[in-house]
């Protein structure tokens, strides 16, 4: 069972890295949200999202990860980002 323990240790490290990377990504996207609110730009950018999804699907396929899963995951993250951007814009217009 040493192998199971070793694998689980790696899984825990990978999960921690994912959380830290997501936190860093949201730190950046919140700054993007503030810039968009400042310049009266809409929270979502479907053209940019389309490019990101195409890119991520290619990266996933190359890495032998299901491209459908990669797309669903990115859409889930982007939905949360747009929710933040809407909140940032609403807070700014309430000032
Ligand atoms: C972060 C942005 O805002 C939104 C969120 C995106 C993302 O999380 O990658 C991409 C496009 C936008 O819908 C952006 O426009 O760059």
Ligand 1 centroid to 45 CA: how many Å?
A: 6
| pLDDT tier, 90 (very low <50, low <70, confident <90, very high otherwise) | very high
Comparing CA positions, the residue from 24, 23, 22, 44 lying closest to residue 33 is 44
pLDDT reported for residue 95: 75
Two structure tokens written together for 3 = 């192998």
Render pLDDT for 57-66 as a digit per residue (tens, 0 to 9). Answer: 999 999 999 9
Cα separation, 17 vs 20, in Å, equals: 5
Angle between helices 67-94 and 46-62 (to 10 degrees): 150
Task: ipTM value, please give it.
Answer: 0.99
Render pLDDT for 15-51 as a digit per residue (tens, 0 to 9). Answer: 999 999 999 999 999 999 999 999 999 999 999 999 9
CATH fold for the domain made of 2-94? Chorismate Mutase Domain, subunit A (1.20.59)
CB atoms within 10 A of CB 81: 19
**Closest residue by CA, ligand 1 atom 15:** 45
Domain ranges of the chain: 2-94
Comparing CA positions, the residue from 53, 50, 44, 51 lying closest to residue 83 is 44
Decide: 86 in ligand 1 pocket, CB within 6 A. Answer: no
């Amino acid at each position: 069972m040493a192998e199971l323990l070793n694998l689980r240790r790696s899984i825990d490290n990978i999960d921690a890295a994912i959380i830290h990377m997501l936190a860093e990504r949201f730190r950046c996207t919140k700054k993007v949200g503030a810039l968009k609110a400042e310049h009266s730009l809409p929270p979502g950018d479907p053209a940019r999202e389309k490019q990101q999804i195409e890119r991520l699907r290619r990266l996933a396929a190359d890495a032998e990860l299901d491209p459908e899963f990669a797309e669903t995951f990115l859409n889930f993250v982007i939905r949360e980002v747009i929710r933040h951007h809407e909140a940032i814009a609403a807070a700014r217009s309430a000032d």
